[in-house]
Structure 1
Amino acid sequence: MEFNFKQNQQITIERVKEIILITIKDAFQEILGETSTMVVWHYLLLNTGLRIEDILDRPEIFISFIRNLFKDGAKIIEKKIKEKLCYRFKINPENIENIDLIDIIKQIITKY
């Protein structure tokens, strides 16, 4: 399922957050597969108390968890999430190449 919006089309903040969460889930499943992704979500809950639905309220904790869990491999996951966010929100990838994923997520939410 793809989410592309015309610039003048208005969407709710709830919908934007839903799209970001779907994008994050898709990136994880593409890299790790469905079963391993489910294990990561369970481990996230056990170690941080965050459910996947809550990560946009506390992205710093989510990204820190991913970086601690996957070490250097987190860069691959973050890059995939960035690529998918660029596609779904029509962002030029060159504009966010050196921006932290936490800031990108916050900027997308703020924009809408």
Structure 2
Amino acid sequence: MVSLVDPATVNLLTLALDATAMRQHAIAQNIANVNTPGYQRLGVGFESRMEELKAAAARGAGKAGLAEFRPVFELAPDEAVTLETEMVALSENTLHHQALLKALNKQMALMSVAINEGKR
């Protein structure tokens, strides 16, 4: 049986959306502490492991198998926190989040069509 919605794609999109939500939180923390002496920039580790994540999803790893790839907060002590840098990061993250939502919505629209067409 052919599936219209690829579970691996949905799982990857879900993890990526989790990363953008966490990144939004990290950016907010960085902006709030931009003038705090000794503050270490907060980031999110996720994209660096994307190739491993894609390979795991291709092998058919479900949500449980992808748990080790969940995004995590990371300190970046060598990076200076500036308002300009954080605002750019905020804009990029917002665009990334919107693109991921569109992709997930397309996957769910396929499922909706399959369900609704079956009711006739």
Question: Of Structure 1 and Structure 2, which has the larger fraction of its residues in strand?
Answer: 2
Question: Of Structure 1 and Structure 2, which has the larger fraction of its residues in helix?
Answer: 1
Q: How high is the TM-score relative to the length of structure 1? A: 0.29
Structure with bigger gyration radius: 2
Q: How high is the TM-score relative to the length of structure 2? A: 0.28
